[in-house]
């Protein structure tokens, strides 16, 4: 299967898998965070929140409880149903809960909400109070608190805080990171004379979120102004403003270290000067390991990040600005750490590499929030540049390197704009290429989280189509769910070695208890070098924004969320077709619904898993009150032969909420065609009768007669069906071209052949692209000689007939003769 062909089909299939209409929806909540070791009530906003049943946190440190359902007054007004738009939830945060952002979803009667993040921090929280848009109305707050606020349209929030001379005052805002709509906050701090001491909009450490830390010049009251950077804002533009004396370093050196070791770190950017720390690194590699600096009263509002790897560090030794002074390192795997400390600086390292090995050369700078926009170059020992890179899906470069000889090689790092500072740190990891495997469950609709969490009803099924990412390996992929909760089972056929998708059907037993669970899927493949296993790497975009709905904030999840929801009022099944789908043919499928009594709503059926070369509807609907629907799949000449499975995902609205369920996979076969053929080009004047001849190639014998229909004739041209056996090689149709049949070339003629096997028809659509040219009748037309063919089309076993061209020539000759005769 060609990936290029698969992609558009995937898009079609996925975009169709939507709920019928949005019902239960959570849009945002307030406050956006809570202190560690407390019970806090959150108010969720959205639509139809009376259907909420559970608040589910992935972390065991936080428990969410629905404390107040929307009142009936909210839900119904003046007798008309009105969506309930708020819901109170209490979160219980354990005292040992580490600070950070914690994902959660809300389960309703039939679905799961989008994923949201709750921010947990040690400081007490307070709420913003309007009016606070001018200095005179500034809201007084104390230090070491977090203010939860909202920037409404063109809003400005001003807070007053008292600070002492010489103290460090750190301000930091969580805005974009709160997983709302695009919200880009900006802050500034003024003294009592309205002089702006500092301002922050975007930061390298926090991207669109601002942060600043300064030493207070004199005792007094200071005013903190929060706004949207372009004076925008919405009702859901929530923010959390941290105000206190916490340390706030912005970069770390080195940007990583070996597993399990104590690593001396220097953190830069804090106004009090460099901070030294020697944390013990975890025993397993981590791509982003948080370093949170502890101050006298509190830790930094957010962590700095380093990498933890399985191999040793090389630290740069200045001067290393050229090949001859390059800092020496060993053989890969290795990690080179340095800083582009001033403008136009460049750092060189040397290492040993083996001929024929493939190496990844990965630079980590911006990924670990260094301001460096690195350019990577590799050189051999003679100084010849072998290659390099600037950006690779982000500012950090990546280069794949295969040495042509054993020897010494050089790495050069510099900044793209040739700038530099003590903060411009980087880490280069060079290691041999190794096979890897990962799976993902992408959204079923662009720019949403749809389909990234699963729901199923007791006694019913749901399906998920995972995408596979194999690197440096090939082979069939199995998937396993080691921690399936009681009552849920999963079925999946291995993905073939060429397949890029893998479908899994989950089934809940009739007595499965309602609730939400995390699954940890493990994929594996076996190839010549052994078993390669991989986990879920599910990117969930939390904030989309302009231009073109780009991702501004995302989270990668290794756990899949699945919920058992209220029983669906229906289930669906497909019948296995009795015949194969032949190339150039079509096959009819039937979807049947088993409806609960009283449930009559239409059921939308999205068709999942269709290989390239097979086309048909992406979606069909079982009409209201009906129990089944049929649809056809057609195969072109390149449809992959073999056994395939089709899954139908149903969705239907019941009592205002969408319920999803899947059929069991239905197997069908794609087979070669029984016969193929061509249609000879034909031409006839209006009002004439013509024979259209066809050549057949028989590939598979069949019993009895097959019915052949000629399709694609122009308007008002008629013919009769023909019968053939598996021995026939030619076939002709007598076509009557009417006097009002449109003049021109009609190029879409084809043959529809219904071959029967065990009494079941196998439909072929062969000999496509046949041409019938219809001409204007000749002036002074000779007396019309209608071909005396039989009325019914019939297979011919005679020799090849006179061609149409021969007949036209003869007619022309005859006309000329007639003209000469007229003249004479």
Partner 1 sequence: MKRLTLTVLLLSASHLAVPAATLSEIRVFPKTIHLSTRDDHQSVLIQARYDNGITEDITSQATFTLSNPALCSKEGNVLRPRKNGTTQLTITIKGQTKIIPITVKQATTKRPISFRLDVVPLLTKAGCNTGACHGSSRGKDMFRLSLFGYDPAGDYFRLTRDFSGRRINLAIPEKSMIIEKTTGAIQHSGGDLFTRESPQCKTLMQWLSAGAPDDAPDVATPTKLELFPKHTVLEGKTTQQLMVRASYSDGTDRDVTKLARFMSSDELAIKVSPHGLASAGVRGEAFVIARLATLTTGTPFITIPKNAPAATLGKSNNYIDTLISRKLAQLRITPSNLCSDEIFLRRATIDIIGSLPTPEEFKAFTSSPSPNKRADLVNALVERKGFIDLWVMKWAELLQIRSGQDFSYKSAILYHNWLEQQLSSNVPINTIIHALLSSNGGTFSTPPTNYYQVETETLKRAENVAQVFMGTRIQCAQCHNHPFDKWTMDDYYGFAAFFSQVGVKKAEDPRERIVFNKGNGDVKHLVDKRVMAPRFLGGDTPKLEKLDRRKVLADWLTSPDNPYFARNVVNIIWAQYMGRGIIEPVDDARLSNPPANPELLDALAKKLVESNYDFKTIVRDICNSRTYQLSTRTNPSNELDERNFSHATVRRLRAEVLLDCISTVTHTKDKFSGLPLGARATHIADGKTSTHFLTTFGRATRATVCSCEVSMEPNLSQALALINGKTVGGKISSGDVVKTLLKEGKSPTEIMDILFVQCLSRKPTEGERSALADQLVDDKGSADALNDIFWALLNSQEFIFNH
Asked if 392 is part of the footprint of partner 1 (rule: CB under 8 A), the reply reads no
Tell me, letter by letter, the H, E, C secondary structure of 550-586.
EEEEEEEECCEEEEECCCCCEEEEECCCCCCEECCEE
CB 43 to partner 1: min, Å: 28
Distance (Å, rounded) from C-alpha 236 to C-alpha 26?
12
Stretch of 162-170, 226-234, 610-618, 773-781 lying at the interface with partner 1 (CB under 8 A)? 226-234
The two structure tokens encoding residue 360: 């990844």
**Is residue 61 a contact point for partner 1 (CB under 8 A)?**
no
Gyration radius (Cα) of the chain, Å? 36
Given the complex with partner 1, which of 58 and 204 has the nearer CB atom?
204
- By the 10 Å C-beta count (0-12 exposed, 13-18 middle, 19+ buried), 278 is classed as exposed
For partner 1, the closer of residues 285 and 545 by Cβ is 545
Among 110-118, 199-207, 262-270, 715-723, which window interacts with partner 1 (CB under 8 A)?
199-207
390 binds partner 1 (CB under 8 A): yes
Nearer Cβ to partner 1 (332/395): 395
Can residue 130 be called a binding residue for partner 1 (CB under 8 A)?
A: no
When asked if residue 208 is in the footprint of partner 1 (CB under 8 A), the reply is: yes
Q: Which one among 74, 346, 352, 391 touches partner 1, defined by CB under 8 A?
A: 391
250 touching partner 1, by CB under 8 A: no
Q: Rounded distance, CA 297 to CA 637, Å?
A: 72
Q: How far is the CB of 428 from partner 1 (least distance, A)?
A: 20
Closer Cβ to partner 1, 288 or 366, answer by number: 366
Q: Contacts with partner 1 in 156-175 (CB under 8 A)?
A: 156
Distances in Å between the Cα of 350 and the Cα atoms of 77, 335, 409, 508, 575 are 75, 12, 6, 58, 65
CB nearer to partner 1: pick between 233 and 403: 233
Contact status: 245 vs partner 1 (CB under 8 A): no
Residues 732/738/740/741 CA torsion (nearest 10 deg): -10
The label of the residue with tokens 């290795």 reads: 334
End-to-end alpha carbon distance in the chain: 70
Shortest distance, CB of residue 345 to partner 1, whole angstroms? 17
Tell me the closest approach of the beta carbon of residue 346 to partner 1, in angstroms. 15
In angstroms, give the least distance from the CB of 546 to partner 1: 7
Cβ distance to partner 1 smaller for residue 201 or 493: 201
Nearer to partner 1, 123 or 250 (CB): 250
The continuous run of DSSP H or E covering 811 comes out as: helix 804-823
Site string for partner 1, 352-371 (x = CB under 8 A): --------------x-----
Q: Which two tokens stand for residue 562?
A: 């699945």
Q: Between residues 130 and 390, which has the closer beta carbon with respect to partner 1? A: 390
Does 92 sit near partner 1 (CB under 8 A)? no
Stretch that binds partner 1, among 23-31, 227-235, 254-262, 683-691 (CB under 8 A): 227-235
Binding flag, residue 184, partner 1 (CB under 8 A): yes
Least gap, CB of 391 to partner 1 (angstroms): 6
Instruction: Quote the CA–CA distance of 276 and 278 in Å, as a whole number.
Output: 7
**Binding flag, residue 416, partner 1 (CB under 8 A):** yes
Nearest alpha carbon to residue 118 among 103, 99, 98: 103
Cis peptide bond prior to 319, omega within 30° of 0: yes
At 764, list the tokens. 């072929």
> Which position among 35, 83, 232, 672 is part of the footprint of partner 1 (CB under 8 A)?
232
Return d(Cα 213, Cα 207) in angstroms, integer.
16
Site string for partner 1, 537-576 (x = CB under 8 A): --------xxxx-x-x------------------------
On whether the CB atoms of residues 367 and 289 are closer than 8 A, the answer is: no
The verdict on 201 binding partner 1 (CB under 8 A) reads: yes
- Please, what is the minimum distance in Å from the beta carbon of residue 429 to partner 1? 21
Strands 666-671 and 689-698: unpaired
Angle 664-666-670 (CA atoms, 0-180°, nearest 5)?
A: 160
b (16+ CB within 10 A) / e for 630-665: ebebbbeeebbeeebebbbbbbbbbeebbbbbbbbb
**Cβ at position 365, least distance to partner 1 in Å:** 12
Assess 388 for contact with partner 1 (CB under 8 A): no
Nearer Cβ to partner 1, position 193 or 797?
A: 193
# residues contacting partner 1 (CB under 8 A): 25
Pair of tokens at residue 771: 């041409």
Q: Are 200 and 211 in contact (CB under 8 A)?
A: yes
Residues numbered 666 to 725 that lie near partner 1 (CB under 8 A) are none
Phi/psi of residue 680, nearest 5 degrees = -70, 145
Pairing of strands 139-140, 156-163: parallel
Applying CB under 8 A, does 128 fall inside the site for partner 1?
no
Distance between CA atoms of residues 104 and 42, nearest Å: 13
Q: According to the binding rule CB under 8 A, does residue 202 interact with partner 1? A: yes
Q: Between residues 71 and 230, which has the closer beta carbon with respect to partner 1?
A: 230
Q: Residue 229 or 621: which CB sits closer to partner 1? A: 229
Is there binding between residue 394 and partner 1 (CB under 8 A)? yes
Residues numbered 476 to 535 that lie near partner 1 (CB under 8 A) are none
CA 426 to chain centre: 30
**Contact between 809 and partner 1 per CB under 8 A:** no
Cβ proximity of 126 and 141 under 8 Å: yes
What does the block give as tokens for 463? 């399906």
Local structure of 154: helix, strand or coil: coil
User: Looking at beta carbons only, is 350 or 553 nearer to partner 1?
Assistant: 553
Q: Which stretch binds partner 1 (CB under 8 A): 224-232, 239-247, 348-356, 529-537?
A: 224-232
CA angle (727, 733, 736) in 5-degree steps: 175
Q: Counting contacts by CB under 8 A, is residue 417 touching partner 1? A: yes
Type and span of the H or E element at 757: strand 744-757
Query: Min. distance of Cβ 133 from partner 1 in angstroms?
Result: 9
Q: Does 231 bind partner 1 (CB under 8 A)?
A: yes
Cβ-based nearer residue to partner 1, 322 or 394: 394
φ, ψ (nearest 5 deg) of residue 258: -80, 150
- The Cα–Cα gap between 189 and 512 comes to 56
Tokens encoding 15: 């975009």
Choices 202-210, 311-319, 480-488, 558-566; region in contact with partner 1 by CB under 8 A: 202-210
Q: Which residues contact partner 1 (rule: CB under 8 A)? A: 154, 156, 184, 201-202, 207-208, 229-232, 366, 373, 390-391, 394-395, 416-417, 545-548, 550, 552
């Amino acid at each position: 299967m060609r990936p290029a062909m698969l992609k558009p089909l995937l898009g079609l299939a996925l975009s169709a898998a939507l709920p019928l209409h949005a019902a239960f929806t959570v849009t945002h909540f307030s406050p956006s965070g809570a202190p560690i070791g407390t019970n806090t009530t959150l108010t969720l906003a959205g639509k139809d929140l009376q259907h909420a049943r559970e608040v589910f946190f992935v972390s065991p440190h936080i428990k969410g409880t629905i404390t107040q359902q929307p009142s009936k007054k909210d839900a119904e007004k003046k007798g008309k149903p009105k969506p309930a738009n708020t819901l109170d939830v209490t979160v219980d945060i354990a005292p040992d809960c580490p600070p950070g952002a914690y994902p959660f979803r809300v389960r309703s009667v039939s679905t799961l909400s989008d994923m949201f993040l709750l921010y947990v921090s040690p400081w007490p929280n307070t709420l913003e109070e309007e009016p606070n848009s001018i200095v005179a109305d500034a809201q007084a707050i104390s230090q070491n608190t977090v203010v939860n606020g909202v920037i409404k349209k063109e809003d400005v929030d001003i807070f007053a805080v008292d600070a002492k001379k010489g103290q460090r005052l750190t301000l930091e805002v969580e805005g974009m990171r709160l997983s709302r709509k695009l919200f880009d906050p900006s802050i500034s701090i003024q003294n009592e004379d309205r002089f702006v001491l500092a301002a922050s909009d975007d930061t390298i450490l926090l991207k669109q979120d601002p942060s600043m830390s300064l030493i207070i010049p004199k005792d007094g009251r200071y005013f903190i102004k929060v706004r949207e950077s372009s004076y925008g804002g919405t009702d859901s533009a929530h923010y959390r403003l941290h105000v206190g004396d916490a340390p706030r370093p912005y970069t770390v050196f080195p940007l990583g270290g070996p597993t399990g070791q104590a690593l001396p770190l220097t953190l830069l950017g804090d106004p009090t000067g460099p901070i030294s720390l020697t944390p013990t690194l975890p025993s397993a590699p981590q791509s982003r390991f948080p370093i949170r600096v502890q101050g006298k009263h509190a830790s930094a509002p957010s962590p700095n990040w380093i990498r933890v790897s399985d191999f040793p560090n090389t630290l740069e030794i200045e001067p290393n600005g050229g090949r001859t002074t390059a800092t020496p390192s060993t053989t890969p795997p290795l990690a080179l750490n340095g800083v582009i400390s001033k403008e136009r600086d460049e750092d060189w390292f040397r290492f040993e590499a083996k001929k024929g090995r493939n190496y990844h050369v990965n630079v980590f700078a911006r990924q670990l929030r260094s301001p460096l926009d690195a350019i990577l170059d590799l050189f051999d020992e003679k100084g010849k540049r072998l290659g390099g890179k600037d950006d690779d899906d982000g500012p950090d470069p990546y280069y794949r390197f295969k040495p042509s000889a054993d020897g010494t090689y050089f790495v050069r790092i510099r900044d793209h704009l040739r700038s530099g500072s003590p903060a411009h740190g980087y880490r280069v990891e060079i290691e041999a290429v190794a096979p890897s495997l990962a799976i993902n469950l992408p959204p079923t609709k662009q720019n949403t989280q749809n389909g990234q969490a699963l729901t199923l009803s007791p006694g019913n099924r749901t399906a998920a189509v995972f995408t596979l990412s194999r690197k440096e390996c090939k082979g069939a992929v199995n998937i396993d769910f080691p921690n399936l909760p009681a009552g849920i089972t999963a079925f999946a056929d291995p993905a073939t070695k060429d397949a890029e998708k893998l479908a899994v059907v989950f089934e809940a037993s009739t007595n499965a208890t309602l609730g939400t669970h995390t699954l940890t899927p493990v994929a594996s493949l076996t190839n010549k070098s052994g078993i390669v296993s991989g986990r879920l790497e599910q990117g969930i975009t939390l904030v989309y924004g302009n231009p073109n709905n780009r991702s501004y904030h995302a989270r990668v999840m290794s756990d899949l969320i699945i919920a058992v929801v209220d029983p669906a009022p229906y289930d669906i099944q497909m019948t296995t077709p009795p015949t194969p789908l032949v190339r150039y043919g079509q096959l009819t499928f039937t979807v049947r619904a088993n409806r609960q009594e009283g449930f009559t709503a239409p059921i939308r059926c999205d068709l999942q898993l269709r290989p390239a070369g097979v086309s048909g509807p992406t979606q069909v609907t079982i009409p209201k009150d009906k129990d089944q629907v049929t649809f056809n799949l057609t195969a072109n000449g390149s449809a992959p032969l073999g056994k395939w499975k089709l899954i139908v995902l149903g969705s239907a609205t019941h009592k205002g909420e969408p319920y999803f369920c899947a059929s069991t996979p239905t197997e069908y076969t794609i087979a070669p065609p029984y016969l193929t053929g061509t249609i000879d080009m034909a031409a006839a004047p209006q009002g004439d009768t013509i024979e259209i001849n066809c050549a057949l190639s028989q590939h598979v014998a069949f019993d009895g007669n097959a019915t052949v229909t000629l399709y694609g004739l122009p308007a008002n041209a008629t013919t009769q069906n023909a019968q053939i056996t598996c021995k026939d090689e030619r076939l002709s149709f007598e076509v009557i071209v009417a006097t009002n049949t449109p003049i021109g070339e009609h190029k879409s003629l084809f043959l529809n052949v219904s071959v029967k096997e065990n009494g079941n028809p196998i439909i072929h659509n062969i000999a496509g692209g046949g041409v019938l040219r219809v001409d204007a009748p000749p002036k002074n037309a000779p007396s019309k000689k209608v071909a005396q063919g039989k009325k019914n089309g019939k297979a011919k076993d005679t020799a090849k007939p006179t061609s149409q061209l021969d007949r036209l020539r003869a007619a022309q000759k005859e006309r000329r003769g007639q003209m000469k005769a007229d003249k004479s």
